[in-house]
Amino acid sequence: MIPILEEVEKDGASWQEMCLRLGRILGLDSPVPGSVLRRARADDRFAAHLMICRGTPDLLKEALFDAGNRAFERPQDSAERSVTQLGRGLVSSLASWVADGARFAPKDLHEQRLSTCRSCPHLVDPPTKLVYRVALVGSSDQRVCHLCGCVATRKARVASEKCPAGYW
């Protein structure tokens, strides 16, 4: 294991905290996907590659979305958030939206964001939690972002929202 991963795993951190720590080490504002952390823990060469790429956003993006990461995905990655965590994210988003004047994104921007989301490997089917069954009522595309837990079609519509992976 490379030394930087020892830093990520110190203090008995939770899985979510370890993903967030690695994201911060790589210079991201969001956690890395669970598959990336699992692969880095299993493959020292991949972990070293992540560290080398951290100063180059385009190379880092390629590493984060490398097809080899799929072998390390787990279906529960998007279900790891508790209802409390999802609620906090919703309250934070609502507060930002209201502070921004409760504006929605213009139709062309909304479509551009959705197009980006539809091609993103982080767009997944929602977990089978009650909170998602309620939140998805009336939504035509029910997939969610597994980085933040948001319903992608709704998040893309709010002008003040940002993609947790930095794509829009």
Summarised one tens digit per residue, pLDDT across range 66-99 is 888 878 877 555 445 677 777 888 888 889 899 9
Asked which of 73, 106, 122 is the last residue of a domain, the reply is 73
Which of 29-38, 54-63, 110-119 holds the top average pLDDT? Answer: 110-119
Amino acid identity for residue 40 in this structure: A
Asked which of 51, 73, 95 is the last residue of a domain, the reply is 73
141 pLDDT higher than 90:
no
> Tokens 């504002």 — which residue?
29
* Same domain? 43 vs 102: no
* Same domain? 56 vs 84: no
Structural domain range at position 16? 3-73
Residue 79 CA to its chain's centroid (Å): 12
pLDDT at 22: 94
Please say whether the beta carbons of 60 and 29 come within 8 A.
no
CA distance 156 to 93: 12
Please say whether the beta carbons of 122 and 69 come within 8 A.
no
* Tally of domains within the chain: 2
| DSSP 8-state code for residue 65 | T
pLDDT at 76: 55
Asked which of 73, 99, 116 is the last residue of a domain, the reply is 73
Domain-embedded: residue 166 = no
Domain-embedded: residue 25 = yes
pLDDT at 143: 87
pTM here? 0.53
* Same domain? 115 vs 145: yes
* Same domain? 92 vs 131: yes
* Same domain? 14 vs 53: yes
